[in-house]
Amino acid sequence: EAQVTQNPRYLITVTGKKLTVTCSQNMNHEYMSWYRQDPGLGLRQIYYSMNVEVTDKGDVPEGYKVSRKEKRNFPLILESPSPNQTSLYFCASSLSPRHDQPQHFGDGTRLSIL
């Protein structure tokens, strides 16, 4: 089944404790991205990747890192999480942004930073 898989789905942690949210897709998609969703602000893009070893900042990259060492995986890293990073996070992928293909989303990761 074609899907985007995020882990963990839920995480409660404390300020400053490094964490990684994994994202994996099995559709051989080139384009992957991370969003955060906050009430009243909608979904905002954090980082995106056009292909392996190519990553770029989205609208709200501060406090986040990503890597794209292989096509299927695009982990989101919070080196020193802070309470303002408490949010619902989504990973998405598509064949390519240059094709009129829909984006496929994971089920989301709810992070709470205390």
- Judged by the rule CB under 8 A, the positions of this chain that interact with another protein are 4, 33, 35, 40-45, 48, 58-59, 90, 92, 97-98, 100-108
Amino acid at 48: Y
CB hemisphere CA count around 56 (13 angstroms): 7
Q: Which is nearer to another protein, 38 or 79 (CB)?
A: 38
CB of 70 to another protein, least distance (A): 22
Nearest to 70, CA basis, from 109, 110, 32, 13: 32
At 98, phi and psi to the nearest 5? -85, -5
CB of 4 to another protein, least distance (A): 8
CB of 80 to another protein, least distance (A): 27
Distance CA 50, CA 88 (A): 23
Q: Which is nearer to another protein, 71 or 105 (CB)?
A: 105
